């Protein structure tokens, strides 16, 4: 069984409480549970790690090299400035999906630049609580394309 690594960045542990008008009322645990069900339905195990610390997420990406088929990552605010995370993702050879619950392009100007986007396979953004499920589905579809 292949492994998909799901990473959630800073402040995502507060989903359901933090700015529900933007991020909704669904908790991270609920989103991860749904993502795991989708992965398992397609024959993949899902590992999830959330951290408010950039280095922990970099370490998780590095540990996924040669072990995981895909990385689906919601980098949170790190999206906009973490060249360390982008560099780590660039070394991962599997499918990489950038994920955002809100649509960064429709928000503040500083959110409109992603330093992660150039090194990922694709992006799922602006679809709210459907995003985690759709991110896993996208990763699975791309893995199947690679055969």
Catalytic residue positions, numbered: 23, 100
Q: Which residues contact 17 (CB under 8 A, 6 or more apart)?
A: none
Of residues 89, 40, 45, 33, the one with CA closest to residue 64: 89
Whole-number Å distance between alpha carbons of 142 and 147:
9
Residue with tokens 């986007």: 117
């Amino acid at each position: 069984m292949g492994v998909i690594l799901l990473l959630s960045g800073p402040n995502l542990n507060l989903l359901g409480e933090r700015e529900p008008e933007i991020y909704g009322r669904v908790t991270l645990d609920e989103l991860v549970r749904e993502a795991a069900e989708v992965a398992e339905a397609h024959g993949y195990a899902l590992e999830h790690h959330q951290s408010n610390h950039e280095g922990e997420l970099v370490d998780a990406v590095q540990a996924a090299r040669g072990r995981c088929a895909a990385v689906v990552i919601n980098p949170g605010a790190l999206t906009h400035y973490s060249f360390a995370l982008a560099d780590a993702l660039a070394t991962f050879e599997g499918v990489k999906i950038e994920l955002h619950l809100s649509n960064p392009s429709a928000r503040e100007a500083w959110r409109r630049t992603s330093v992660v986007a150039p090194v990922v396979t694709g992006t799922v953004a602006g679809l709210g609580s459907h995003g985690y499920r759709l991110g896993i589905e996208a990763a699975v579809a791309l893995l199947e394309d690679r055969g």
